Amino acid sequence: MDYQKAKKDIEQILSENKKDRLEQIVSYLYTHFDYYDWVGLYLVENNKLTLGPWVGKQATEHTTIPFGKGICGAAAETGKTEIVSEVKKDDRYLSCFLSTQSEIVVPIKKNKKIIGEIDIDSDTVDVFSSKDKKFLERVADMLSEHICMTT
Ligand code: SME
């Protein structure tokens, strides 16, 4: 997938300002990157990560994650993108799907505060590159303007 093209398409979707734009972005990422096997947005509500729109073969049981727990909670605490090349070797990992091999979690910030995260699981080991990181951090910035803080 061409990251530049994806950025433009995502900008376009967001500029239309439709009610379901967050769902559309999640779905865009899932369908255009073959190794993005589960794509979800967690939104911060009452200081916890709460699952928002997601696309994948299966639902996760982790619909609420406290800061500091799992890979998602780690990224929320540090504000830094987490790339885990082999989830089975990371003690912090909260298991959702047996097929998952690697994961990337990208914080979404507004005025330096974490307001949500992009969480992507892949069934392929060590698949997320610095290109995915750069691209998804840009997507997170774009999404930031479209997410409201609910304390
Ligand atoms: N694996 C995540 C939990 C969320 S699922 O991947 C959808 C974690 O360790 O925080």
74-97 pLDDT, tens digit per residue, is: 999 999 999 999 999 999 999 999
Mean model confidence pLDDT for the chain: 96
Output the CA 145–ligand 1 centroid distance in Å: 24
Residue spans of the domains in the chain: they are 3-144
Amino acid in the structure at residue 147 = I
Q: Angle of helix 130-144 relative to helix 3-15, nearest 10 degrees?
A: 10
Tens of pLDDT, residues 90-121 = 999 999 999 999 999 999 999 999 999 999 99
Output the CA 134–ligand 1 centroid distance in Å: 20
Write the class of the CATH domain 3-144. alpha beta
Residue 150 has a pLDDT of 54
Is residue 94 within 8 A of residue 75, CB to CB? The reply is no
How far apart CA 53 and CA 21 sit, in angstroms, is 10
| Contact 119 CB / ligand 1 (< 6 Å) | yes
Phi, psi (rounded to 5 degrees) for 6: -60, -40
3-class SS at 136? Answer: helix
Output the CA 16–ligand 1 centroid distance in Å: 30
